[in-house]
């Protein structure tokens, strides 16, 4: 019914109570620092809310033939971005907003079909977009290029939710008809902490070996050919 309520956890204090926030909600998300909330409506509009103040901050800009649908804030804490899927007729693009001034940074056509859901990995490196016909793709945020495609995972049923595993490159996707499906992504794996320490240890040992070899093969002051500036004197020399 378009009624928006925001509560503080765990006190359950009401931070915002707006009965006419939208005609009807399409999607919403809270920023990593809990400062902002973005909400989108079924009529294609989207609004940013200042949570602590409990007031609307700005409406996201769009043209009259655009509908803002899914929306997610970046999760890595370093890049202040807001990702939204925008439908324009039969086309769907992913638009990026800068949350420092709420200006559009750019857009790209990724999934190429109507988007049903959107998700961001916890490290902020990947986006996942689910479609109305059961496909999904995973996008490298740095390059804004598709890194993984999974087609007909839900066989024609719209994907209603998709989330990344916090520790592995795996996503879980859900649909009304087929339930939950786990998919392992064919994207480069992250370096584990123990792998980094192992490489540092190997570099240290290699440096120690090279130093030892250099020391063993280097000439000392008293070894090798006698120096010209050193004069051999008889043991009982007299002056």
In tens, the pLDDT along 39-56 reads: 999 999 999 999 988 889
Q: How sure is the predictor about 234, in pLDDT bands with cuts at 50, 70 and 90?
A: low
Instruction: Look at 204 and 116; give whichever has higher pLDDT.
Output: 116
Cβ(163)–Cβ(139) under 8 Å? no
What are the residue ranges spanned by the domains of the chain? 60-184
Q: What is the pLDDT of residues 1-19, one digit of tens each?
A: 899 999 988 999 999 999 9
Q: What average pLDDT does range 220-224 have in this prediction?
A: 50
DSSP 8-class letter at 111: S
d(CA 112, CA 150): 14
In 10 A of CB 189, how many CB atoms? 9
The token duo for 78 is 């370093």
Q: What average pLDDT does range 234-238 have in this prediction?
A: 53
Reported pTM? 0.76
**Upstream peptide bond of 10 is cis (omega within 30 degrees of 0):** yes
**Res 236: pLDDT:** 55
Q: What average pLDDT does range 132-143 have in this prediction?
A: 92
Instruction: List the beta strands (DSSP E) in 60-169.
Output: 67-73, 81-88, 91-98, 103-108, 115-120, 126-131, 136-140, 145-150, 161-164
d(CA 178, CA 193): 37
Q: Is 234 exposed, middle or buried (0-12, 13-18, 19+ CB in 10 A)?
A: exposed
Q: In 3-state terms, what secondary structure has residue 143?
A: coil
Mean pLDDT check: name the lowest of 77-86, 129-138, 141-150, 171-180: 77-86
Helix (H) or strand (E) holding 34: none
Q: What percent of the chain has pLDDT over 90?
A: 58
Q: Is 62 exposed, middle or buried (0-12, 13-18, 19+ CB in 10 A)?
A: middle
How, if at all, do strands 4-8 and 13-18 pair?
antiparallel
**Res 59: pLDDT:** 95
d(CA 48, CA 30): 10
Residue 230 scores a pLDDT above 70 = no
Mean pLDDT check: name the lowest of 17-31, 146-160, 216-230: 216-230
Helix (H) or strand (E) holding 233: none
CATH number, domain 60-184: 2.130.10.10
Mean pLDDT check: name the lowest of 124-138, 174-188, 225-239: 225-239
Task: Please list the helix, strand and coil fractions of the chain in percent, rounded to the nearest 5, in that order.
Answer: 10, 40, 45
By residue count, the chain amounts to: 239
**Res 235: pLDDT:** 54
């Amino acid at each position: 019914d378009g009624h928006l309520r925001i509560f503080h956890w765990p006190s359950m204090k009401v931070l915002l109570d707006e009965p006419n926030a939208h005609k009807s909600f399409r999607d919403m998300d809270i920023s990593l620092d809990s400062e902002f909330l973005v909400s989108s409506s079924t009529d294609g509009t989207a609004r940013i809310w200042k949570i602590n103040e409990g007031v609307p901050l700005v409406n996201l800009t769009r043209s009259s033939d655009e509908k803002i649908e899914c929306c997610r804030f970046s999760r890595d804490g370093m890049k202040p971005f807001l990702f939204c899927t925008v439908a324009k007729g039969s086309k769907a693009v992913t638009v990026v907003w800068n949350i420092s001034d709420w200006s559009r940074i750019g857009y790209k056509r990724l999934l190429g079909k109507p988007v049903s859901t959107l998700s961001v990995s916890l490290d902020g490196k990947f986006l996942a977009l689910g479609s109305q016909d059961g496909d999904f793709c995973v996008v490298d945020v740095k390059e804004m290029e598709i890194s993984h495609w999974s087609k007909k995972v839900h066989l024609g049923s719209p994907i209603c939710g998709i989330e990344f595993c916090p520790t592995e490159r795996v996503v879980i996707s859900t649909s009304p008809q087929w339930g939950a499906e786990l998919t392992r992504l064919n994207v480069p794996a992250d370096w584990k902490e123990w792998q980094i320490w192992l490489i540092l240890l190997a570099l240290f040992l290699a440096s120690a070996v090279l130093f030892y070899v250099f020391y063993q093969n280097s000439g000392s002051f008293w070894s090798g050919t006698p120096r010209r500036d050193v004069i051999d004197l008889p043991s009982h020399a007299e002056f």
